[in-house]
Amino acid sequence: MTNYYVITMMDNKRSTQVARRCIESGKKLGYNILMFKAFTPDNCNPEEVAIYNDLPLKGFEEKYSRTGNCISGFLSHFHLWKLTVANNTPTFIFEHDAVILNKLPDITNYDILSVGKPSYGNFNIPTFLGEGPLTSKRYFPGAHGYRVTPKGAQMLIDEAKHTAGPTDVFIHVDKFQYHLGETYPWSVEANDSFTTIQRQEGCLAKHNYGETYEII
């Protein structure tokens, strides 16, 4: 058994619209993806929630993201990792702008497996077909689509209490080494026209950033 969740800002129309698109793209392939209510600066105090969960705040002090929004995004992933451990069931986690393009892997040798096409910046094309070690980047090429086992989720939770930061950069080869993999061809892509986390400096790193790309 595997669970599937898409992180959704329930009080944001744009977020719920693209999350439904994610759900529909999964349904076409036989996956029952459920919405997971995102943490946002509008429904919580991100810094207080992070401190309550013993998460350090220093790693979120960077120029590319709005701090409260970035912490909130991390908290959404963090609580899905906790849910994965509590349910003792592997989980596919998607961000609201994810679109599932083809079948997701049923079985993997990796506890943390990216299935998403890199969504920004420079990246490498894996030389393997199927699954292998994370190759496209040294860190997650966007956190818009990945599978985590209960063991992997516990590893992420434990490490977060030391080095929490922007979710994709946090999930780094140097921290998780042989537990971290990816699939190729990629099964998921981020089809986004807006950001709820980044500042303009962060948007400039995106391939699709232009006049129609919005910061909301």
Looking at the domain assignment, is residue 214 inside a domain?
no
pLDDT tens digits along 104-150:
998 889 999 999 998 777 899 999 999 999 999 998 888 999 999 99
pLDDT above 60: residue 77: yes
150 domain-assigned: yes
**Mean residue pLDDT across the chain:** 89
Under a CB-based contact definition with an 8 Å cutoff, are residues 40 and 9 in contact?
yes
The answer to the question of residue 215 being in a domain is no
**For residue 70, what pLDDT is reported?**
87
Q: Is 111 a member of any domain?
A: yes
The neighbouring-strand residues paired with 93 are 5, 146
What percent of the chain is modeled with pLDDT above 70? 87
Q: Which 3 state secondary structure label does DSSP give 159? A: helix
Is residue 7 one of the residues assigned to a domain?
yes
216 in a domain, yes or no? Answer: no
The total number of structural domains that make up the chain: 1
- Tell me what the mean pLDDT of segment 16-38 comes to: 97
**18 falls within a domain:** yes
In whole angstroms, what is the distance from residue 4 CA to residue 142 CA?
Answer: 18
Domain assignment present for residue 170? The answer is yes
Name the band, by pLDDT with cuts 50, 70 and 90, for residue 69: confident
List the domain range (segments joined by +) for residue 193.
3-209
Q: Residue 196: give its domain's CATH number.
A: 3.90.550
User: Tens digits of per-residue pLDDT, 193-204?
Assistant: 555 555 455 555
